[in-house]
Structure 1
């Protein structure tokens, strides 16, 4: 039965987002949990008795299901201290993030390595979990298979063991016996000594590696420690803090002075909660070993990059906190996904090498950017608040240290004579970010903005054409950011580093001079990214693509004119668009029916006759984005429902393919006709999930970034 069968008819199209959240929850949860989440999404905040009534479950089943969905952060709860009554509320944002599991794992794999990806995958499956249990689960699931001799019981033969290496005596996970729960990887040895299914090069995963990788993820903010306040919705948490602060004012809150004191107290309490949540992350950042700024990022054994965090003392810090509960920080994962999207966007305009430099800039900024969006309920520390209001700046040295080792910054840029370059204009410093006015970005300086002196007015360009470097694609003996081939960055000379820094600055200046303004030169040797205007331009790119695909170049031309000029009379628009008046009227009516344009009627007299009425056309950005999101949610729900129908139709074949002795050997174990039907389903599944992924890209750009 599809999850949509449990939904009533929605009064608002925006509720389709909740329907999609439930559909994505269906991928990982059972029917009981699905019914609980469906009821909370449809009916709002409820208690156990109401949930038992509307889900046809008994209270014991409801409580067990609530415990599981709370563990996966899919449901908030709030307890009234006076009545001791607990109510539950769905968390649709966390449910929707289940659609992005594949993207999150992919970006973690590329940035932090395979072990980090596996740890994040374990957190997605387990929900919040203690560190010690997570390490044991990870080592048992992803380590080499255990070998047993036929007829031998499960005993521990390791007399020289570390408590963290003991798999057989730590079978105390919440769901029962750990060894029995994951014995799929257990392999048996026959009497002749042959071990079936074992790999010769399989090496056990050391606990120190897992602790160090987990410490790296916590220090980066991808994984966060769990506190009691996280189980409340942000609105309930703020209301609880205000209720506690009200006790300090027995005479009530009257007057401007008392109101200011009350607001100050509430803000201080909320900041204290933010500091409590970030205690472990800050401890790891302060005590962990940081690499010198003149050494490039070293490559970890698990395939990831260290990003400046060595992790040597981080693992020991986590070992001292085995009972600390952690979970995945989806807000930070969304920042990583935004960086990836912006890098792809920059590559379309400035080329691959310059886009990789932009990726290094975003990676250095990512250490100080904790979430994509903020609202009045966002919990921030003083550091986060200062970063949000004043912006984040990084130096050229920090950007260079975050460049990927495979980027050759001496390529991808052209050469120009010194006479053709105006240094002061090319390297001008903008103190203030560009302002968004209406629906277009202001490119000129406002009153109060400054063009400061360049930090490179005494720039020596004589060393830009040294022998052995890559200039304009000509290969020499030095590559990989000025280091010798082989990737050993510890031995790079000071001159080669300075040379590569000069090349990298040229790429940064290209990013500042583009029409899109990817980077802003904001201070002496300082750079920043204005995410608001940049995401705004990215939205316009997506909108222009959709308009051109549906209405052609003429529809795109009309939309851009209205976006730039605002409201225009239907008599003025044809002249500006260089189109015939009947063609304009037909195209505008077509776009209005699709919801991309709006028209306002202004009668000249009380008769409201058509010939005495002025028609003003305009582009409503907010309404257009809302309609695009609504259509995206509808399409995603239909794709997921179609996938459920296909799975139901192929249930017999999928049951065969899911057998343990068939998995990974479908072509050998299945008959020809059965295998062909299985391949047909796999192809349909790939197409549907790919479409869901593309639609999620639109949702990310228009709503989450």
Structure 2
């Protein structure tokens, strides 16, 4: 099973809140039944929910269109439904995905992604531009108690940055998003649960290799496990393929090429009619947003902010250029379907660096010059004086003459950029690693493990004490220790160590084990081992973070319920935009207070989501050495 598809009760409660907040009570009730009982048929959902058949069908349609539930293959006699936990939790990141796309492209492209994420997956002609701009707005047109939905289509004389001038422009945006991995094709396999996909990949491996029969030998079983993972990766990688987009330019012999004029049909179409019966293959292309790409962007943003805090702003900007250049070639943070490890340690393949994570210093220096970054900031003046000409360091430790970055030569710029990268390489987090002359690579897995360890230590320090944090570090470095060895390592008495170990054990950050020396169980004749399991501590902290998010959503619902009548009044079409005219002063004050409270709660929810990304999305399961 994929690491991101593991369900916990608190995650089920959190996702139920998110579904109810965005898609309404009906979808939430169907979702909650699947969350409580797991894989169910429609009749079983009806018995557990007390909803009518029509209501259940409508709820399942909403959840299926939004990729919030899986369903069994169409070849099965009975259709089973199960929850897609990765997509369900991704609802909390709707605004972040649009923000990332707007940073990398423009507002119009971000609007396309927002509509794709909130509206059902559809073809290129209808999906991203089906009438409403929903960036930050619910499907029903109400967001946070008041409606803000806009119609995308403007009049012919009122073109702005959010209106598509032609179908070719939309095709170009979709193609760009697909090339960068933000948008992928919709396939039937995406609606299959992890169990169904495993069964299909297994049966395909059996048919291709053994003619449908099950192997019995040990080597054949290992080969079967390898082929299953290979088939899963092949099925998944086909979703990222970018089709060949045909040009829509009018040719000389196209006598029946339809008009490109846009007509508003039924009041909502961006392109009501596209020139008669003319169509192209990309018009039937069904697309959706890639949730794994958002985790890659979040990881890059987190690393850049860390560099900015710990080194300098200029180094962070250069590091951002480096990460952005790698981002296009990184479809996901970690491999969901890795090959099973070999039974013998000697048979393990030798580790080789991934060349997709290697960047040339020359490319970063050229990009920094285009952006006009002052690369001399954030470095030691002595280092700059050794590289640049006609300057030296005075007695006060300041350059005698400021260095103009635009006047630097090519080789001087390279040396200064490499000086910044040396700061990144020398940092304990090892933000970059030297690969070859003029080349650096990023070991994302090692950085992700360091980030997880840092979050665990920060949590222990905030909840317990500095001694408890040092104990965590000692156990991580030394491995399993008994009480006497731990006391010698920590240089503290046994009574002090026992109190700290008991507290950390109750919290789930430290594990203990009693190993008897003799055949009877006595405290004096047993060895009490203590160790730190980073994966268990990671799961515990992730569980606590989910709890915090649930409390935030509960508080938001409570605050909204207190002024529900006022919010309903403010969302009316005649009141929206004219609040000062139709609302009293006390109502305006209450509405302003609600917006302030909501903003604080949403900010805290986003911070909790950043912690979830560090603990869950940046790397797969960890093993304690």
Decide which of 303, 314, 323 is 1:342's aligned counterpart: 303
Decide which of 496, 499, 506 is 1:593's aligned counterpart: 506
Q: 1:584 to 1:141 in 2, by over 3 A?
A: closer
Q: 1:186 to 1:702 in 2, by over 3 A?
A: closer
- Partner in structure 2 of residue 159 of structure 1: none
Uncovered stretches (5+) of structure 2, i.e. residues with no partner: 1-5, 141-146, 248-278, 340-350, 619-625
> Is this contact kept in 2: 1:414–1:472, CA < 8 A?
no
Deviation for aligned residue 1:272:
5.1
Higher relative contact order structure (alpha carbons within 8 Å, sequence separation ≥ 6): 2
Post-superposition Cα deviations, 1:394-421, rounded to whole Å, max 9, x if no partner, equal: 2223434555815322221114479xxx
Uncovered stretches (5+) of structure 1, i.e. residues with no partner: 1-11, 144-173, 176-180, 190-197, 288-317, 379-385, 419-460, 484-494
Whether 1:566 and 2:512 are equivalent positions in the alignment is no
- Partner in structure 2 of residue 465 of structure 1: 389
Whether 1:233 and 2:193 are equivalent positions in the alignment is yes
- Partner in structure 2 of residue 506 of structure 1: 419
Deviation for aligned residue 1:467:
7.4
**Alignment partner of 1:133: what SS?**
coil
> Is this contact kept in 2: 1:400–1:504, CA < 8 A?
yes
Post-superposition Cα deviations, 1:324-378, rounded to whole Å, max 9, x if no partner, equal: 1111001111111111111112222221111222212111121211111223389
- Partner in structure 1 of residue 57 of structure 2: 63
More deviation in 127-136 or 525-534? 127-136
Aligned length: 553
Q: 1:679 to 1:473 in 2, by over 3 A?
A: farther
- Partner in structure 2 of residue 151 of structure 1: none
Decide which of 368, 374, 384 is 1:408's aligned counterpart: 374
> Is this contact kept in 2: 1:235–1:377, CA < 8 A?
no
Deviation for aligned residue 1:135:
5.1
- Partner in structure 2 of residue 683 of structure 1: 596
Whether 1:206 and 2:165 are equivalent positions in the alignment is yes
What CA distance in whole angstroms lies between the structure 2 residues aligned with 1:565 and 1:142?
53
Structure 1 residues 157-556: aligned runs within 5 Å: 205-207=164-166, 208-247=168-207, 249-250=210-211, 252-254=213-215, 270=232, 273-274=235-236, 276-280=238-242, 283=244, 321-376=282-337, 392-400=357-365, 403=368, 405-416=371-382, 464-465=388-389, 478-479=404-405, 482=406, 496-556=409-469
Post-superposition Cα deviations, 1:4-48, rounded to whole Å, max 9, x if no partner, equal: xxxxxxxx9932112212221122112111111111121111222
Q: 1:400 to 1:661 in 2, by over 3 A?
A: farther
Deviation for aligned residue 1:85:
2.3
Decide which of 71, 75, 85 is 2:69's aligned counterpart: 75
Post-superposition Cα deviations, 1:528-566, rounded to whole Å, max 9, x if no partner, equal: 111111111111221121111122222222222222222
What CA distance in whole angstroms lies between the structure 1 residues aligned with 2:472 and 2:152?
63
Decide which of 82, 93, 110 is 1:89's aligned counterpart: 82
Q: 1:678 to 1:606 in 2, by over 3 A?
A: same
**Alignment partner of 1:599: what SS?**
strand
CA RMSD of aligned residues (A): 3.9
What CA distance in whole angstroms lies between the structure 2 residues aligned with 1:234 and 1:622?
22
What CA distance in whole angstroms lies between the structure 2 residues aligned with 1:579 and 1:142?
59
Deviation for aligned residue 1:651:
0.5
TM-score by length of structure 2 reads 0.78
Q: 1:238 to 1:590 in 2, by over 3 A?
A: closer
Q: 1:135 to 1:703 in 2, by over 3 A?
A: closer
Deviation for aligned residue 1:686:
2.2
TM-score by length of structure 1 reads 0.70
Q: 1:36 to 1:377 in 2, by over 3 A?
A: farther
> Is this contact kept in 1: 2:391–2:399, CA < 8 A?
no
> Is this contact kept in 2: 1:413–1:472, CA < 8 A?
no
- Partner in structure 1 of residue 117 of structure 2: 124
Decide which of 8, 22, 42 is 2:36's aligned counterpart: 42
